[in-house]
Structure 1
Amino acid sequence: MLLKQNLFTGSETNKKVSSMNYYSYRLMIRENADNHILKCRRLYHKYVDDMYVKIETERLTFIRLNQTKLRSEEYIHLRDAINTDGNAQNVGRMTILPATYIGSPRHMHEYAQDAMSYVRHYGTADLFITFTCNPQWIEIKQELLPGKSSIDRHDITARVFRQKLKSLMNFIVKHNVFGETRCWMYSVEWQKRGLPHAHILIWLVEKIRPNEVDAVISAEIPNVQVDPGLHEVVIKNMIHGPCGTLNQNSPCMMDGKCSKRYPRTLISETITGNDGYPLYRRRSTADNGKSTIVKLNQQDIEIDNRWIVPYSPILSKTFKAHINVESCHSVKSIKYICKYVSKGSDMAVIEIGAENSNDEVTQYQMGRYVSSNEAVWRIFSFPIHERHPSVVHLAVHLENGQRVYSTAQNAVQRAAQPPSTILTSFFETCQNDDFAQTLLYSEMPKYYTWNQSSRRFIRRKQGKPVPGYTDVYSTDAIGRIYSVHPSNDECFYLRLLLVNVRGPTSFQQLRTVDGELCGSYREACQRLQLLENDAHWDQTLNDAVISSHTHQIRTLFSIIISTCFPSNPIDLWMKYKDYMCDDILYQIRNRMGNPNIQISEEIYNEALISIEDMCLIMSNKLLIQLGLTAPNRPMHDAFNQELHRERLYDLNALKE
């Protein structure tokens, strides 16, 4: 009514309307109405986006402003700083975005690692499901006002999709439509056009056998006479494109080819492809396959099974949406899928200058892309990730190397009395609990809960009773020990001991083998035969000394100790050090004019310096960090000066 009133306001408008015919008049009303709706829609989207962006900005600002007040530092570094000069002002790290912030890169990486923990315990997942919101759902349309569409009410879309997703998970997990479910996880993301979709991984107790895939997943057009309801859902939601030669402007086209590899090859039976994914049965029309007619650019096009996205008939017919179902039992595909499920939302393409290289909060903000649908979802506090069973993260740190949260006021007290960590509490539990002494570190969450307030492990009070022990119950909880890069050698070997040694009571006890305290965790791993034999690296160097130049042998040795992490690099050095010094000895003999000079510690030191220089280029690590003796740089300078002095002598005068 307001729009109609505006059209007839003013003499100019009256004259314009009076000169129109009926068709032009209706067309003008429609154009003005469409522009008005489009303007209101843009204002609505901008309002929703701005609301959540302000919420997220406040959260990120809190993290940035509290970097100096709530500092994270390894305990041993904090203690050393306090003991050195008593100054707590320079203790801390760069501006970090912690894993506790939902959607941060660290948060997504942790979920990917948790998914791989499921793979480690239960093997590869059975089903990979992508569930996409359907804006034509009756639950959405019946809540809209006349003339409105789902794009005008993202709150309704978010609420309905949330309920549909819960219903889908209950349908799979509780009603066991594919069989009993062992564990599951999903992540919610948003498409470019704004509609939410969920990536779901399902682990079943009874694995889907290759001859059972066709009973669960189909990639064919259903028979319209047998099941007209399923045929309608598949035709509306499960046809890809068409793209390629039929439609070069399709969004999936990249460099003239479909990025989703459609159209697929017609095949009479389901087989396993080279990439680990099954090649589903797609029969041709000559082999009893079906086809249908779809409209593309006002033209009728015949579509066969080559264009059908794999689906589950029971899920598609129940939820009437785009539900892509894939079998992902292959080891080749599971790592990619676990990362894909937890890759996070789309980010804008940006370039970070050097001034922001250490500010993770700024990097995250500059690349952040927020759609209206995601904004509503986050405002409602709907979960982005859910899973079962729970995964408990277990910290790994060296003795006096635990992470401490401190302020400038309590830094001295924290350094004197560091708080207990999950690892130190594990040691204490093993000292006082006989059952804990039978467990590995990663098995603790299955039988114990971590009490954050008291910072200690407590036996579970619910679950399955453990035979032979009173008041001990087990659950499905999984413990995941944080990964450590091999370049952080001592912490890496500590983690290796925690994975293999049951019931340790202290850091010293972990380094004790056959009643003898080892000097390092690496030595303890060697004596327990937990490290690989260096025979293959020994053979590699042995082959090299036969046919390679000396500098090539040094380069190969540098590559081995920098990137391959041999168990005992000192033994390799002692065995082949003479071969790595031949060219240095030859050069010195030529400079000195004395062919009788023999190899010495100074020459070995020159070779070590050359090797360390190459290791710094390759891995930015010193030899002392790679398990070798550090070279003597002052000896190198003195040796060069001695060579220079010897070369200043008049050899003819000395001979006379």
Structure 2
Amino acid sequence: MQSRMMEQLVTLDKRYGRPDLFITFTCNPSWCEIKYLLLPGQQPSDQHDLTARVFKQKLIRFMDLITKNHIYGETRCWMYSIEWQKSGLPHAHILIWLVEKIVPTQIDDIITAELPNAEEDPELFEIVKKNMIHGPCGGHNPHSPCMKDGKCTKKYPRQLLQETQTGGDGYSLYRRRKPDDGGYTTTIKINNVDFEVDNRWIVPYSPILSKSFNAHINVESCNSVKSIKYICKYVNKGSDMAIFGIANPNEPVNEIEQFQMGRYNSSNEAVWRILGFDIHERFPAVMHLSVHHNAPQRVADPPNTTLTAFFQLCATDEFAKTLMYHEVPQFYTWNQSTKKFCRRKRGARHSSIAGIFSTGALGRVYTVHPNNGECYYLRMLLHVVKEPTSFQAIKTIDGQECETYREACFKLGLLENDQRWDNTLAEASETRHAHQIRTLFAIILTTCAPSDPKGLWEKHKESMSEDILLRARRNNLGLDVQYSEDIFNEALISLEDVCMSINNKILNQLGLFSSERDRNDVIDRDALREKQYDVDALQVYVETQKRFLTNDQRLAYDTIMRSRPYIYIHIYTK
């Protein structure tokens, strides 16, 4: 499910660019709708079905307020996924794309990270005070859940700023005024001690949403494509996973048999699933389109797929001939029973062609790994060739049928450089972790023979080194650690290790820079594995087992030992 969600998110990003808002909407167990229905003496944790139902209704109204009432403007598309905290409370991670993009000057009108004026709006002040104050943590509360190695993982308290700024990594730095510059403060209790809170501790929120739903609602502005990298990972990361073992203390430990792996489901999540509530929703629909070869054994009667149905459509429908494969779902629906595309009968009318209707539905051709040879090149052709009526037609260039799809791509100028690998790494850098990007680059280096590996490295080395930079920052708290040659060198070492595990080649053999480390550290894994033996133990084994050889085995053994005597000598002369 996570991979399908990721495909949908990438499709929306590719079509409409970065989302405008990233919202986290958390269930509030103190909602009056929940408390009103509790039995005497009960707590919200005693009625998980009640919590789930109320949050579901609140979420529906929440989405209607944004997508139908257009409180931030007309909405182009949206998606959300539901997760559960360790305490069991559900929360939704929501992405919103607006027709009119939010510009930096509008951020303060939508999002604030300051305490409101208690006299002008006492209701909002109490809501923010109760739901939108982080911690406080740090030295005031070192046992706060956000603390790690003596530092807040959420980077609170934040810096006080007079004006909203755009951060260097694509995240906004919201206005947080000092008390003597127009900011406000309040007092809360921590461990029965009064603590004065200023704007450094306020989680960004939208006043209209906070007042409407009285809950923890974190609203962030996505002002850069780079900022959605975190969002892609966070929205699609899936449930928590637990690894555990079951063992009988009276029996010998067998790690293989006792190993179990599963996912942690809280009671509230279990109720949510039992009630059949959606865990993920989005608009518009994203239709996945198949891509495959027409294998020889299926030529006589191939099963109709969206791809072969597209070929048939191009042969019979004049309008379809003007469309690319991924554009078809916008104007046609897929009939699952007949396995055919049918023109839409509802939607927006075409401006010049009668009988043509369109919707916001998008098409996403299934991802094909570069190792999958011809299928990968076929997918490339489907994004540039119009009016294909067969597998042969799609690789026919200037009236001449090419032998392979790769040849057709080359004739169209699609394979003149490493642009495909550049696009692959660029897409991965927006949605994947650094170690996954390194693995992808290692696969490209070892199996796909890029023409300029050094150029690809220079362009994407920061994305491939991000986890190493973060680890260096954690290990050197208080220092301004930035990308450096040492960071990139460690990434090269990690990359080389992956390449070695794939085809036992070091980086300079693959056209890339060599990592700076002692040559003894570059381990030939195959040679090392072959040397892991005990000569004396093997000789004893041979001498004790020779008597069990059959006549044919004895003949083969004697022949080998007579023809290759140095093998036998090597056993004794280690």
Given that 2:370 and 2:448 are in contact with CA atoms closer than 8 Å, whether structure 1 keeps it comes out as no
2:503 to 593, 616, 620: 616
Aligned to 1:371: 266
SS of the residue 2:81 aligns to: strand
Asked whether 1:193 is paired with 2:80, we answer: no
- Structure 1 residue 121, shift from structure 2 partner: 0.9
- Structure 1 residue 468, shift from structure 2 partner: 3.3
Given that 1:116 and 1:335 are in contact with CA atoms closer than 8 Å, whether structure 2 keeps it comes out as no
Q: Distance in 1 between the 2:410 and 2:300 partners?
A: 34
- Structure 1 residue 313, shift from structure 2 partner: 0.3
1:568-579 counterparts in 2 under 5 A?
none
CA displacement, residues 556-606 of structure 1 (integer Å, 9 cap, x when unaligned): xx998625643799xxxxxxxxxxxxxxxxxxxxxxxxxxxxxxxxxxxxx
Q: Distance in 2 between the 1:559 and 1:121 partners?
A: 28
Q: Distance in 1 between the 2:25 and 2:500 partners?
A: 53
2:52 to 134, 158, 165: 158
Q: TM-score, normalised by structure 1?
A: 0.63
Query: Measured at CA, do residues 527 and 151 of structure 1 come closer, stay the same or move farther in structure 2, by a change above 3 Å?
Result: same
Q: Distance in 2 between the 1:462 and 1:431 partners?
A: 24
1:382 to 277, 280, 302: 277
Asked whether 1:497 is paired with 2:356, we answer: no
SS of the residue 2:14 aligns to: helix
Aligned to 1:460: 344
Given that 2:294 and 2:302 are in contact with CA atoms closer than 8 Å, whether structure 1 keeps it comes out as no
Asked whether 1:482 is paired with 2:369, we answer: no
1:620-635 counterparts in 2 under 5 A?
none
SS of the residue 2:195 aligns to: strand
1:393 to 281, 284, 288: 288
Q: Distance in 2 between the 1:560 and 1:368 partners?
A: 33
**Structure 1 segments (4+ residues) deviating >6 Å:** 351-356, 612-615
Asked whether 1:280 is paired with 2:174, we answer: yes
Aligned to 1:78: none
Q: Distance in 1 between the 2:134 and 2:357 partners?
A: 50
Q: Distance in 2 between the 1:416 and 1:465 partners?
A: 39
Q: Distance in 2 between the 1:461 and 1:355 partners?
A: 57
Q: Distance in 1 between the 2:363 and 2:108 partners?
A: 36
Gaps of 5+ in 1: 1-106, 357-361, 402-411, 538-557, 570-611, 624-656
SS of the residue 1:348 aligns to: strand
Aligned to 1:525: 409
Aligned to 1:339: 233
Structure 1 stretch displaced more, 335-344 or 422-431: 335-344
1:324-335 counterparts in 2 under 5 A?
324-335=218-229
SS of the residue 2:209 aligns to: helix
- Structure 1 residue 339, shift from structure 2 partner: 2.6
CA displacement, residues 29-64 of structure 1 (integer Å, 9 cap, x when unaligned): xxxxxxxxxxxxxxxxxxxxxxxxxxxxxxxxxxxx
CA displacement, residues 92-146 of structure 1 (integer Å, 9 cap, x when unaligned): xxxxxxxxxxxxxxx1111012011111111100000000000000000000011
SS of the residue 2:158 aligns to: coil
Q: Distance in 2 between the 1:179 and 1:614 partners?
A: 52
Q: TM-score, normalised by structure 2?
A: 0.72
Query: Measured at CA, do residues 150 and 117 of structure 1 come closer, stay the same or move farther in structure 2, by a change above 3 Å?
Result: same
Q: Distance in 1 between the 2:452 and 2:401 partners?
A: 19
Query: Measured at CA, do residues 326 and 393 of structure 1 come closer, stay the same or move farther in structure 2, by a change above 3 Å?
Result: same
Amino acid at match of 1:287: D
Aligned to 1:229: 123
CA displacement, residues 414-463 of structure 1 (integer Å, 9 cap, x when unaligned): 99744211111111111111111111000000011111111111111111
Q: Distance in 2 between the 1:238 and 1:199 partners?
A: 17
Q: Distance in 1 between the 2:28 and 2:351 partners?
A: 50
Q: RMSD of the TM alignment (CA)? A: 2.9
SS of the residue 2:269 aligns to: helix
Aligned to 2:521: none
Aligned to 2:321: 437
Given that 2:397 and 2:411 are in contact with CA atoms closer than 8 Å, whether structure 1 keeps it comes out as yes
1:249-260 counterparts in 2 under 5 A?
249-260=143-154
Asked whether 1:348 is paired with 2:242, we answer: yes
Amino acid at match of 1:458: C
2:335 to 440, 445, 451: 451
Gaps of 5+ in 2: 247-253, 422-441, 454-498, 511-574
Aligned to 1:98: none
Amino acid at match of 1:467: S
Q: Distance in 1 between the 2:375 and 2:255 partners?
A: 31
Q: Distance in 2 between the 1:453 and 1:498 partners?
A: 25
Q: Distance in 1 between the 2:133 and 2:300 partners?
A: 66
Given that 2:166 and 2:223 are in contact with CA atoms closer than 8 Å, whether structure 1 keeps it comes out as no
Given that 1:267 and 1:282 are in contact with CA atoms closer than 8 Å, whether structure 2 keeps it comes out as yes
Asked whether 1:213 is paired with 2:107, we answer: yes
Asked whether 1:116 is paired with 2:23, we answer: no
Q: Distance in 2 between the 1:614 and 1:268 partners?
A: 52
Given that 2:371 and 2:448 are in contact with CA atoms closer than 8 Å, whether structure 1 keeps it comes out as no
- Structure 1 residue 351, shift from structure 2 partner: 8.9
CA displacement, residues 368-402 of structure 1 (integer Å, 9 cap, x when unaligned): 1110000000000011011110000011111229x
CA displacement, residues 488-527 of structure 1 (integer Å, 9 cap, x when unaligned): 2211111000011112111111111111111111110010
SS of the residue 1:260 aligns to: coil
Given that 1:532 and 1:567 are in contact with CA atoms closer than 8 Å, whether structure 2 keeps it comes out as no
SS of the residue 1:484 aligns to: coil
Given that 1:486 and 1:565 are in contact with CA atoms closer than 8 Å, whether structure 2 keeps it comes out as no
Structure number with higher relative contact order (C-alpha < 8 Å, ≥ 6 residues apart): 1
Quote the sequence identity (%).
Answer: 60
Given that 1:531 and 1:567 are in contact with CA atoms closer than 8 Å, whether structure 2 keeps it comes out as no
Query: Measured at CA, do residues 314 and 618 of structure 1 come closer, stay the same or move farther in structure 2, by a change above 3 Å?
Result: farther
Given that 1:272 and 1:278 are in contact with CA atoms closer than 8 Å, whether structure 2 keeps it comes out as yes
Amino acid at match of 1:484: V
Asked whether 1:241 is paired with 2:152, we answer: no
The number of residues matched between the two structures is 434
